[in-house]
Amino acid sequence: MEQPSYYSVDGAAARLDVHPNLIYREVKAGRLPHIKVGRKVIRIPRQALEAWEQAQLEGGRQ
């Protein structure tokens, strides 16, 4: 199965098995790069999510 280029907040949370509120917190804090589409829609690039995940595994925060 091909991985998406962008994840929704719910999709990113599902991939990481975390609550969507964690994704929103990281986006709001500027630690998780994202693209805002319109006023409400947030999309997270796959590469940004993978980099954030790797940083968490290494024990640091981005």
**Predicted model pTM:** 0.85
Domain boundaries defined on the chain: 6-57
The mean pLDDT value for 31-54 works out to 95
pLDDT of residue 2: 82
Is residue 60's pLDDT more than 70?
no
Q: Which helix (H) or strand (E) holds 9?
A: helix 9-16
* Count helices and strands in the chain by DSSP H and E runs: 3, 3
Query: What number of residues does the chain have?
Result: 62
Is residue 1's pLDDT more than 80?
no
